[in-house]
Amino acid sequence: MTLDPPALAPPCPTPVHLDDSLIVVDKPAGLLAVPGRGADKADCVSARLQAVYPDALVVHRLDMATSGLMLLARGAEMQRRLSQAFAGRTVDKTYTAVVSGLLADDFGEIDLPLGPDWPNRPRQQVDVMHGKPSLTRWRVLSRDVLGGQTRLALQPQTGRTHQLRVHLSAIGHAILGDALYANVEVAAAAPRLLLHASALGLDHPLHGARLDLHCTAPF
């Protein structure tokens, strides 16, 4: 009888920054930020980090399909301070995305209220009557005229669920690889959602020094 070797624990996402107060990791696309419902959704960033750093606590989340910088606190007090920073909008977040179509302007903003699309959860939708105010600023990084695609830097000023994905789809420029909000052609144009949390700026919760982190998009 041959015994199978013991399963190896999933690797911990790569720390971009690590100290006694916080951890910032480069989350890969396809990995949950926190556990989902059911044993098959137990593997996630928080579980992998807590196996190495037991005091790691989630401060904010990224969609499963999104890659890039994700922040975790070291202990409850640091989690409280960092959560207050997010609530006070003193944390700067920049994402890189590749979207369908060519935007005519070089920069702009999308100011559309968002709310749940209850019959089609987990989808969100533009909801003028009952949605929460949501603002996304964007800037063109480059245009692929032949491919009909635009690379953008995105700065969400609010933190609604799927905000960037819904906003870009709403203006007719869905993110490539987006299975939820793009049409079939745009969803199939990339092997993954082309959305990456590429920069994070915040005041350190312990000593207040500015911390600016960057992580290049893998697409």
Q: What tens-digit pLDDT sequence spans the chain (219 residues)?
A: 445 544 555 677 889 999 999 999 999 999 999 998 888 889 999 999 999 999 999 999 999 999 999 999 999 999 999 999 999 999 999 999 999 999 999 999 999 999 999 999 999 999 999 999 999 999 999 999 999 999 999 999 999 999 999 999 999 999 999 999 999 999 999 999 999 999 999 999 999 999 999 999 999
Residue 13, pLDDT score: 86
Residue 38, pLDDT score: 85
Q: Are residues 103 and 187 in the same domain?
A: yes
Residue 8, pLDDT score: 52
Which listed residue (63, 92, 203, 212) is catalytic? 63
Q: Are residues 159 and 108 in the same domain?
A: yes
Q: Are residues 74 and 114 in the same domain?
A: no
| Segment (H or E) for 168 | helix 163-170
Q: Are residues 79 and 123 in the same domain?
A: no
The span from the CA of 63 to the CA of 17, in Å, is: 21
Q: Are residues 79 and 106 in the same domain?
A: no
| Domain finish residue from 91, 108, 128 | 91
Q: Count of domains in the chain?
A: 2
Listed in order, strand segments (DSSP E) in 28-134 are: 56-58, 67-74, 92-100, 107-111, 114-116, 124-126
Asked about 19 being catalytic, the answer comes back as no
